[in-house]
Amino acid sequence: MSGNNGVDLTAERVELLEAIDERGSISAAAKALGISYRSAWDAVNRINNLVDPPLLIRRPGGSQGGETLLTEQGKNMIEAFRRMEAEYRRVLAGMSREMADLDQLQQLMRRLAMRTSARNQLRGTVIETRTGPVNAEVTLAINRDARLTATITRESLVEMGLTEGRDAYALFKASSVIVAPANECLRSSARNRLCGLVSRVHTGQIGSEVVIEMEGDKHIAAIVTKESEQALGLRKGMALCALIKASHVILGVD
């Protein structure tokens, strides 16, 4: 089924979720579907960043050194999707018992269909707004401890209806993220400091991509130079913080 932009991405992601549930790992699912591991890995992170509670969880151990499993929420969402797919022409006649699942599914489809050049997309809940003569500050709760503040115009604040309790999406480019070891008290003009453990370092010819995993299986990607990667000693499992200026964060709503 297609999202609002007409690109059939949602069905592909559901197929990926089903393959992961059947095979127990992202790599095995990617191989079965004929896609690259990185594409599958990015899709999993994007799904979990936009959905709360997460649809997938990762556990260490297993025959391949680790496994990825669907949560109960993930299984319910797939089941709802397949029901909707099979009964799309007939649900209008009697869908009162299905409304909760279908509403959740439609929200998920809108989130996953969103296309943007921003590498990072995090879902959160507005917990505070502060207004000035021209601009406004909006703070989102990303998980139990993480907070992310964005600076937007007062006009945008009103137009998007950003009030306390409203869900919103924070988008920012990987190139706008500064990384620093968690044990360093780095002075920076960046308003936001989100910390976690390095889950992946991908070294390229010019620069490197480092991914930080936070609580709740939320991920942040940053682009650093190869020199910075070496100087910081970036490695999997390292405690690392992402620093993001509030002015670099774009907010969106359903």
How high does pLDDT run on average in the chain?
A: 82
113 neighbors 120 (Cβ within 8 angstroms): no
Taking alpha carbons only, the member of 114, 105, 65 closest to residue 83 is 105
Whether the CA torsion 48, 53, 56, 60 is positive or negative: it is: positive
- Tens-digit pLDDT profile for residues 107-136: 665 665 555 567 898 999 999 999 998 899
Is there a contact between 27 and 64 (Cβ–Cβ < 8 Å)? yes
Give the model's pLDDT for residue 162: 94
Q: What pTM did the predictor assign?
A: 0.65
Q: How confident is the model at residue 91 (pLDDT cuts 50, 70, 90)?
A: very low
- Is residue 210 within 8 A of residue 221, CB to CB? The reply is yes
Range 75-83 average pLDDT: 80
Percent of the chain topping pLDDT 90 = 41
Average pLDDT over residues 70-82: 83
> Is pLDDT of 141 > 90?
yes
- The answer to whether 36 and 30 have CB atoms below 8 angstroms apart is yes
Output the six-digit token pair for 186.
């780095």
Mean pLDDT along residues 83-87: 67
Question: What tens digit of pLDDT does each residue of 22-64 get?
Answer: 888 888 999 999 999 888 888 888 888 877 777 888 777 655 5
Helix axes of 10-23 and 99-113: crossing angle, nearest 10 degrees: 110
DSSP SS3 for 237:
coil
CB 246 within 8 A of CB 137: yes
3-state secondary structure of 213: strand
Asked if residues 169 and 122 have their Cβ atoms less than 8 Å apart, the reply is yes
User: Which domains are assigned to the chain?
Assistant: 10-113 (1.10.10.10), 120-172+248-252 (2.40.50.100), 174-242 (2.40.50.100)
3-class secondary structure, 151: strand
Residue-wise pLDDT for 164-200, tens only, equals 999 999 999 999 999 999 887 666 778 899 999 999 9
CA distances from 96 to 14, 159, 194 (A): 24, 32, 41
Alpha-carbon Rg for the chain in angstroms: 19
The answer to whether the beta carbons of residues 108 and 3 sit under 8 Å apart is no
- According to DSSP, residue 67 is labeled E
